[in-house]
């Protein structure tokens, strides 16, 4: 067992060493950025990460402490928020370091875990969107679904979402990966583009299939909703409302079709495109809490409920 003082010094030395690497690599061939660019990118991405974490944790807190919000349909939103928190808290920090340094500085084990969690979190996010889409579809096309929809049934659907995401993200950890000599490589890489078979497999199952499913489902939802409420609402107004409420969720991921798919004709161009698509995917996690708080009345009521519950009291016991 290390003494506390020795452990603290060791951790501090590791942090300082990593910071020195970040600064020194600004002028190194492996880094594409100057020191000023690295600082600017670091600040912007850190703000995005903070927004993702705070916004989605806020959604989770509302669900935990609110009473009226605990409806089966809102459980899907909480599951989506959990996947987005994973993106902001466990994926983006390492991705930022990898981008700025130009190489992977955290060893083989963390590389394997990071790649797996990256795929799992992003896949779970879009699969949760699919679950929400199917829930909306069954709600407008099957009257018995709304009547008999139970919390247990929703939990089974959410469990299926996460099990499917694990099935897509775990193969690199069990051998579907390209080996490299970590011991004799000063600046190793950590990326899925070196695995064309797995990249095709993961992108197809984590993007193309759910995207096509969501497009088809929301087209039906839009059509059925227009039929049901045509007598009460004008067609144009209804289209705008349905598009805002449903279309944004599916459109969040439309910037991903080329994510990390290798282009043998131009590898450099493919790398730049993959980086841009990957960062766009991460930024999409910012939109979810905004959409839900803007278009979901349950969350509006939960905000007021949680505020009344936790607002500060005066010394005499009265609430402000």
Q: pLDDT tens string for the chain (320 positions)? A: 444 444 444 544 544 454 455 445 444 545 678 888 899 989 998 998 999 999 999 999 999 988 888 888 899 999 999 999 999 999 999 988 988 888 888 988 888 888 888 889 988 988 998 999 999 888 888 878 877 777 888 999 999 999 999 998 888 777 666 666 677 777 888 876 556 777 778 778 888 888 899 889 989 888 887 777 665 555 555 455 545 544 444 444 443 333 344 444 434 444 444 455 565 567 678 887 887 667 788 888 888 888 787 777 665 555 54
Q: Is residue 85 in some structural domain? A: yes
Residue 175 lies in a domain: yes
Q: Does some domain include residue 4?
A: no
**Dihedral angle, C-alpha 88, 94, 95, 96, nearest 10 °:** 90
Q: Is 320 part of any domain?
A: no
Give dist(CA 75, CA 60) in Å, integer. 10
End-to-end CA distance of the chain: 50
For 224, the domain range is 10-310
Residue count of the chain, please give it.
320
Look at residue 319 and tell me if it is in a domain. no
DSSP letter at 319?
B
Buried b / exposed e over 299-309, threshold 16 CB at 10 Å, is beebeebbeee
- Using DSSP's 3-state secondary structure scheme, residue 61 falls into helix
Produce one character per residue of 50-60: b if its CB has 16 or more CB atoms within 10 Å, e if not: ebbbebbbbbb
78 membership: H or E segment, kind and range: helix 72-86
C-alpha 102, offset from chain centre: 23
Domain count, the chain: 1
Q: Which residues pair with 319 in a beta bridge?
A: 313
Pure H helices in 142-255 = 143-148, 151-169, 196-203, 209-229, 235-242, 248-251
Please indicate, yes or no, if residue 316 is contained in any of the structural domains: no
Residue 59 lies in a domain: yes
Contacts with 15 (C-beta within 8 Å, 6 or more apart), sequence order: none
- Please tell me the distance from the alpha carbon of residue 291 to that of residue 245, in angstroms, as a whole number: 8
**Residue ranges in 245-296 assigned as alpha helix (H):** 248-251, 267-284, 287-295
**Residue 236: its pLDDT value, please?**
54
- For residue 98, the SS3 value is helix
Q: What is the pTM of this model?
A: 0.75
Does 164 fall in a domain? yes
Contact 122, 157 (CB under 8 A): no
CATH at 201: 1.20.1070.10
């Amino acid at each position: 067992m290390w003494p506390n003082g020795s452990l603290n010094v060791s951790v501090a030395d590791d942090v300082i060493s990593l910071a020195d690497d970040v600064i020194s690599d600004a002028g190194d061939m492996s880094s594409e950025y100057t020191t000023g660019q690295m600082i600017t990118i670091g600040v912007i991405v850190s703000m995005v990460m903070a927004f993702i974490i705070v916004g989605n944790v806020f959604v989770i807190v509302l669900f935990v402490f609110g009473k009226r919000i605990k409806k089966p349909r809102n459980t899907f939103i909480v599951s989506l928020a959990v996947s987005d928190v994973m993106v902001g808290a466990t994926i983006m920090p390492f991705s930022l370091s990898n981008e700025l340094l130009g190489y992977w500085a955290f060893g083989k084990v963390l590389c394997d875990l990071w790649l797996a969690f990256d795929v799992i979190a992003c896949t779970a996010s879009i699969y949760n969107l699919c679950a929400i889409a199917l829930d909306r579809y069954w709600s407008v096309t099957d009257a018995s679904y709304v009547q008999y929809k139970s919390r247990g049934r929703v939990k089974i659907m959410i469990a299926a979402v996460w099990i499917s995401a694990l099935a897509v993200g775990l193969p690199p950890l069990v051998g579907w990966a390209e080996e490299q000599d970590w011991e004799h490589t000063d600046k190793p890489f950590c990326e899925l583009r070196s695995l064309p078979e797995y990249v095709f497999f993961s992108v197809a199952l984590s993007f193309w299939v759910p995207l096509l499913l969501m497009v088809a489902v929301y087209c039906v939802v839009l059509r059925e909703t227009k039929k049901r409420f045509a007598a009460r609402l004008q067609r144009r107004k209804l289209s705008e409302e349905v598009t805002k409420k449903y279309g944004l969720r599916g459109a969040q991921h439309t910037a991903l079709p080329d994510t990390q798919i290798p282009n043998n004709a131009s590898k450099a161009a493919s790398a730049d495109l993959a980086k841009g698509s990957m960062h766009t995917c991460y930024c999409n996690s910012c939109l979810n809490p905004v959409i839900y708080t803007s278009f979901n009345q349950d969350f509006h009521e939960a905000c007021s409920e949680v505020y009344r519950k936790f607002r500060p009291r005066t010394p005499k016991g009265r609430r402000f």
